[in-house]
Structure 1
Amino acid sequence: MKLLDSSVPDFLASLDALTHHAGALDESVDRAVADILADVRTRGDAAVLAYTQKFDRLSAESMAALELSKHEMKAAFDTLDTDLKAALTLARDRIEAYHRRQVMESWRYTEADGTQLGVKVTPLDRVGLYVPGGKAAYPSSLLMNAVPAKVAGVREVIMVVPTPDGVKNATVLAAAHLAGVDRAFTIGGAQAVGALAYGTGTVPAVDKIVGPGNAYVAAAKRRVFGLVGIDMIAGPSEILVIADEHANPDWVAMDLFSQAEHDEVAQSILLTPSDSLIAAVQASIAKLLPTMPRKDIIAASLANRGIIAKTRSLGEACDIANRIAPEHLELSVADPEMLLPLLRHAGAIFMGYGSSESIGDYVAGTNHVLPTSRSARFSSPLGVYDFQKRTSLIHVSPRGAATLGQAAATLAYAEGLQAHARAAELRIK
């Protein structure tokens, strides 16, 4: 990991260079995705079947053969061992309980002249959920996306999940059962995104597409945005730990590993004013890294983008964290409440020595779909509000039409929009 010191004059320049991630779109990937999407839009089911055979080595005579039944998803849940069933169910229940507090309600108010203004809150009709398959299978992400949609009142959740060589992940299917997924298809890649966006003879078109995927999936989501909504384009995983001298170095090291093990471009950062903790964490990394099954990925990630920075105070560490706006922010300090008012930008904040980021990934109940690449400066975790929309309500009274209409007409004439002005004036009595 790179060692930095905030007291050095070029500290911020060094920090910015190490935390910058271009996230450039691969032009060859984008061109391939554009061709796939155009084909799916034109040929529908036939194109999806052809790409599924080509990329997933999965042949089917019709899309109906690639649809999973609710019975199959339930059967997958029934085959799991008791501990895994209990863990999945606990995660589902806690995610549901947390997200029920996010549900927005419609509201109105009445002005003195009788005019009513308000908002009507409505769930989306149909949502598409992309779930990675093959080597990367994340039932926890399925729950994080599907459960808030159901809590929001989405009528239909359509899942797509690739199954290379026809191999299905039982835990993913079990999670789909628990989350109440309505329909599911064993398709993936850009072709699955296209099927959800445009609709095919079998796959219904959706209003929004959520869920993680590879570079082809991300490029496809970018291209269909506008026709449908999307959740976000996620960058590499990130964790930033602010720690005091009393933090457990083994815990800190393992928390840094927890994001580094995702891939070689994930980022793990430690900010602390304690020289003794820095030395202890370095020793813990050296001790614990050889024991990790994904040690090669962790080592590459820490070497490529890992940072340990000595700060002048915990307060300065908070300022630096705001500059980075990390996906995950751990406050491994004795009094996290003291630091909370200083923090403005983070996807999720884990408070206190015992709050590991991994708890948030699985069973805390909060959503683990979080903004990355500094986008926590302007965006938020996935939640129920991503599956509800707001419609303005305007009910103008006769008195309001007279007083507001005159002002509206004046402004419309000033903008040169005479029809706007006359529409308001005709209602003045």
Structure 2
Amino acid sequence: MKKYIYPTEEEWTEIVERSHLDFSKLNETVSKILLDVKLHGDTAVRKYSRTFDHVELKSLRVSAEEFQEADSLVSSDLKGAIQQASDNILRFHEKQVFNGEKIETARGVVCWQKSIPIDRVGLYIPGGTAPLFSTVLMLAIPARIAGCKKVILCTPPDRERKINPAILVAAKVAGVDEIYKVGGIQAIGAMAYGTESIPQVYKLFGPGNQYVMAAKLQVQTQGVAIDMPAGPSEVCVIADEKSNPMYIAADLLSQTEHGSDSQAILITTSEATLMAVEEEVGRQLNALPRKETVEKSLGNSKFILVHDWREAIALSNAYAPEHLILAVSNYDEMVQHVINAGSVFLGEYSCESAGDYASGTNHTLPTHGYAIAYSGVNLDSFCRKITFQHLSKEGIRSIGRSVVVMAENEHLEAHANAMRVRMNNLKNDE
């Protein structure tokens, strides 16, 4: 990890910089696979499953028997944890339901907004060594609350054509309609375009490697919405002289195990805390099964000593972290100054893992500095808002002249005339 001691503002540019996301080398490969899936459907999907996942798929869809088998393989302890997390996620997201109010903006002019669910959404869940069954809950539960008519999920199988059983259990709890044993670029293409087996969706959600991300960005230009652009996972911890080095080290390490390109940032006002956390990171690292990945990630990580908490929060806002932990005694005061972050954790007991799994907030968050402009996934992510308006005769009298004058001054005579004919008609009726 790199250390900065009282960095100048000129050094902040280097501190907040992430590795460049360059998809140019991938895009040709990704576009070829997407086009193949678009043209040849299931045949192409099966071909790339053989190539990349080394599996021959007879049926792409997970069967009822496979769901039953998965249920028998998942421990009651894990099922209980999944259910508790599901209940909390449901409880939190239910409170985000939008109720539009009719507003009379002028006499006789009534406007309102209505939230409409996206009919069909597709969820992508990575497999591999870290099957993210928690992400199933984070995406499918708000989709169900929103009222999406069809929620489908794609996730890569192992070489025995099996899906991690916890993913299937979580999908059943969350109310996913259909699951397909497809991963990678071919999964994104299948959901974006539709195949003989896999229905087309209107919006795609979920994390993935650089190939999946590149595929999502490409289909977005072809009319399929995506949740957000994404980069490697990251955490920023702000600490002071009273912070617990053991907790901070654990939080930093928890984020670095996501991948070798993940990043952990410590910003502290106490040199003693910085040194203690550095020592604690070294001690805890040796006990981690993903030690090699964590060590590579720590190479991207930074420890920064600043003068005071105001400088700390300003630097954090410049960084715009995916996760921000305020492990400080005055977090109530500091949180008022947070403007750029995906999700914020307050106090020494609010570990980032709580939000990743079971507190109820959503863990699908903007990374790579996108928190300056993007929100994390929430109920609105699965909805569209349509505006409505009604003008009575009184409404024409209220705003008609303004509409005509503005249209004329934009040199849009047909616009002006659409209002003018109504105004003239009302005058004739008088």
TM-score bracket, shorter-length normalisation:
over 0.9
For residue 87 of structure 1, the aligned residue among 81, 85, 92 is 81
For residue 26 of structure 1, the aligned residue among 8, 23, 26 is 23
Deviations 1:192-239 (A, max 9, x none): 111111112221111100001111111110011141110012111111
Q: Is 1:119 aligned with 2:149?
A: no
Aligned to 1:58: 55
TM-score, normalized by length of structure 1?
0.94
Q: Secondary structure at the match of 2:185?
A: helix
Alignment map for 1:169-208 (pairs within 5 Å): 169-208=164-203
Q: Is 1:2 aligned with 2:2?
A: yes
Alignment map for 1:207-226 (pairs within 5 Å): 207-226=202-221
Q: Secondary structure at the match of 1:164?
A: coil
Aligned to 1:292: 288
Aligned to 2:128: 134
* CA distance in structure 2 between the partners assigned to 1:190 and 1:203 by the alignment: 14
For residue 91 of structure 2, the aligned residue among 97, 107, 110 is 97
Aligned to 2:316: 321
8 A contact 2:124–2:208 mirrored in 1 = yes
Q: Percent identity?
A: 38
Q: Secondary structure at the match of 1:426?
A: helix
Amino acid of the residue matched to residue 276 of structure 1? A
Amino acid of the residue matched to residue 159 of structure 1? L
* CA distance in structure 2 between the partners assigned to 1:85 and 1:60 by the alignment: 28
Q: Secondary structure at the match of 1:128?
A: strand
Single out whichever of 80-89 and 416-425 deviates more from structure 2: 416-425
Q: Is 1:110 aligned with 2:104?
A: yes
For residue 163 of structure 1, the aligned residue among 129, 151, 157 is 157
Amino acid of the residue matched to residue 5 of structure 1? I
* CA distance in structure 1 between the partners assigned to 2:127 and 2:162 by the alignment: 9
Q: Is 1:37 aligned with 2:37?
A: no
Q: Is 1:330 aligned with 2:325?
A: yes
8 A contact 1:329–1:346 mirrored in 2 = yes
Q: Is 1:47 aligned with 2:44?
A: yes
- The alpha-carbon deviation at position 347 of structure 1 amounts to 0.8
Tell me, which stretches of 5 or more residues in structure 1 are unaligned? none
Aligned to 2:379: 384
* CA distance in structure 1 between the partners assigned to 2:284 and 2:21 by the alignment: 34
* CA distance in structure 2 between the partners assigned to 1:380 and 1:301 by the alignment: 25
* CA distance in structure 2 between the partners assigned to 1:127 and 1:155 by the alignment: 9
For residue 373 of structure 1, the aligned residue among 368, 379, 382 is 368
Change over 3 Å in CA distance of 1:111–1:348 after alignment to 2 = closer
Amino acid of the residue matched to residue 261 of structure 1? E
Q: Secondary structure at the match of 1:85?
A: helix
Change over 3 Å in CA distance of 1:42–1:403 after alignment to 2 = same
- The alpha-carbon deviation at position 243 of structure 1 amounts to 0.9
- The alpha-carbon deviation at position 22 of structure 1 amounts to 4.1
Change over 3 Å in CA distance of 1:199–1:270 after alignment to 2 = same
- The alpha-carbon deviation at position 112 of structure 1 amounts to 5.5
Q: Secondary structure at the match of 1:291?
A: coil
Change over 3 Å in CA distance of 1:323–1:111 after alignment to 2 = closer
Q: Is 1:357 aligned with 2:352?
A: yes
* CA distance in structure 2 between the partners assigned to 1:169 and 1:225 by the alignment: 29
Amino acid of the residue matched to residue 374 of structure 2? S
Amino acid of the residue matched to residue 45 of structure 2? V
Amino acid of the residue matched to residue 148 of structure 2? V
Single out whichever of 126-135 and 18-27 deviates more from structure 2: 18-27
Q: Is 1:398 aligned with 2:427?
A: no
Amino acid of the residue matched to residue 158 of structure 1? I
Change over 3 Å in CA distance of 1:314–1:395 after alignment to 2 = same
Q: Secondary structure at the match of 2:230?
A: coil
Change over 3 Å in CA distance of 1:408–1:310 after alignment to 2 = same
- The alpha-carbon deviation at position 23 of structure 1 amounts to 3.3
- The alpha-carbon deviation at position 313 of structure 1 amounts to 1.0
* CA distance in structure 2 between the partners assigned to 1:421 and 1:332 by the alignment: 59
For residue 409 of structure 2, the aligned residue among 397, 406, 414 is 414
TM-score, normalized by length of structure 2?
0.94
Aligned to 2:225: 229
Deviations 1:108-159 (A, max 9, x none): 1235532211111111101000111233311011111111111111111011
Equivalent residue pairs, number: 422
8 A contact 1:77–1:175 mirrored in 2 = no
Q: Secondary structure at the match of 2:51?
A: helix
For residue 256 of structure 2, the aligned residue among 230, 254, 260 is 260
Aligned to 1:250: 246
8 A contact 1:367–1:383 mirrored in 2 = yes
- The alpha-carbon deviation at position 376 of structure 1 amounts to 1.0
Single out whichever of 345-354 and 35-44 deviates more from structure 2: 35-44
Change over 3 Å in CA distance of 1:115–1:78 after alignment to 2 = farther
8 A contact 1:76–1:171 mirrored in 2 = yes
* CA distance in structure 2 between the partners assigned to 1:422 and 1:198 by the alignment: 42
* CA distance in structure 1 between the partners assigned to 2:171 and 2:67 by the alignment: 7
Change over 3 Å in CA distance of 1:253–1:170 after alignment to 2 = same
Aligned to 2:237: 241
* CA distance in structure 2 between the partners assigned to 1:401 and 1:211 by the alignment: 47
Single out whichever of 361-370 and 418-427 deviates more from structure 2: 418-427
Tell me, which stretches of 5 or more residues in structure 2 are unaligned? none
Amino acid of the residue matched to residue 342 of structure 1? H
Single out whichever of 195-204 and 176-185 deviates more from structure 2: 195-204
Q: Secondary structure at the match of 2:422?
A: coil
* CA distance in structure 2 between the partners assigned to 1:371 and 1:153 by the alignment: 24
* CA distance in structure 2 between the partners assigned to 1:394 and 1:131 by the alignment: 40
Q: Is 1:154 aligned with 2:151?
A: no
